Structure 1
Amino acid sequence: MKLYKLLSFSFLIATLTSCTFTENIYVNDNGTGKFSVDMDGSALMEMAGDQIAGQMGNAKKDIDTTFTFKQLFEEKKDSIAKLSPETQKELKKLENFVVSTKMSSEKKQFLMNLGTDFKNVNELQDILQTLSTFQKLEGGANASPLGNGFGDNKSKLSYTYDGKKFTRKAVIDQEKLQAAKAKDTAADMTKMMFASSSYIVNYHFPKKIKKVSNPNALFSDDRKSITIQYSFTDYMENPEKLNFDVEFEK
Structure 2
Amino acid sequence: MKLYKLLSFSFLLATLTSCTFTENITINDNGTGKFSVDLDGSSMMAMAGDQLGQQMGADAKKDMDSTFTFKQLFEEKKDSIAKLSPEMQKELKKIENFVVHTKMSSEKKEFLMTLSTDFKKVNEMQDILQTISTLQKLEGGTGMNPLGSNFGDNKSKLNYTYDGKKFTRKAIIDKQKITEKANDSAADMSKMIFASSNYVVKYHFPKKIKKVSNPNALFSEDRKTITIQYPFTDYMENPDKLNFDVEFEK
Residue equivalent to 1:103: 104
Q: Percent identity?
A: 80
1:144, distance to aligned residue in structure 2 (A): 3.1
Do 1:131 and 1:145's aligned partners in 2 also have CA atoms closer than 8 Å? no
Residue equivalent to 2:134: 133
Question: 1:114-150 CA distances to partner (integer Å, 9 max, x unpaired)?
Answer: 0000000000000010011011112222483301211
RMSD: 1.4
Residue equivalent to 2:36: 36
Q: Structure 1 residue runs of 4+, over 4 Å off? A: none
Do 2:80 and 2:139's aligned partners in 1 also have CA atoms closer than 8 Å? yes
Do 1:65 and 1:100's aligned partners in 2 also have CA atoms closer than 8 Å? yes
Task: Say whether residues 1:219 and 2:219 are aligned partners.
Answer: yes
Task: Say whether residues 1:46 and 2:40 are aligned partners.
Answer: no
1: CA distance, partners of 2:107 / 2:40: 16
Residue equivalent to 2:244: 244
1:5, distance to aligned residue in structure 2 (A): 2.4
Residue equivalent to 2:231: 231
After superposing the two structures, state which structure 1 stretch, 160-169 or 137-146, moved more.
137-146
Q: Which amino acid aligns with 2:231?
A: S
Normalising by structure 2, we get a TM-score of: 0.96
Residue equivalent to 1:16: 16
The gaps in structure 1 that reach 5 residues or longer are: none
After superposing the two structures, state which structure 1 stretch, 193-202 or 103-112, moved more.
103-112
Residue equivalent to 1:173: 174
1:87, distance to aligned residue in structure 2 (A): 1.2
Residue equivalent to 1:123: 124
Residue equivalent to 1:3: 3
2: CA distance, partners of 1:234 / 1:211: 23
1: CA distance, partners of 2:63 / 2:111: 10
Residue equivalent to 2:83: 82
Question: 1:155-196 CA distances to partner (integer Å, 9 max, x unpaired)?
Answer: 00000000000000001001111122221x211000000000
1: CA distance, partners of 2:163 / 2:195: 36
Do 1:8 and 1:140's aligned partners in 2 also have CA atoms closer than 8 Å? no
Normalising by structure 1, we get a TM-score of: 0.96
Q: Which amino acid aligns with 1:171?
A: I
2: CA distance, partners of 1:139 / 1:216: 41
Residue equivalent to 2:198: 198
Residue equivalent to 2:94: 93
Residue equivalent to 2:68: 67
Give aligned pairs, total.
249
1: CA distance, partners of 2:132 / 2:143: 10
User: What secondary structure is seen at the aligned counterpart in 2 of 1:196?
Assistant: coil
Q: 1:54 to 1:180 in 2, by over 3 A?
A: closer
Q: Which amino acid aligns with 1:197?
A: S
The gaps in structure 2 that reach 5 residues or longer are: none
Residue equivalent to 2:26: 26
User: What secondary structure is seen at the aligned counterpart in 1 of 2:234?
Assistant: helix
Residue equivalent to 1:156: 157
Q: Which amino acid aligns with 1:177?
A: I
1: CA distance, partners of 2:86 / 2:207: 41
1:51, distance to aligned residue in structure 2 (A): 5.6
Do 1:21 and 1:38's aligned partners in 2 also have CA atoms closer than 8 Å? yes
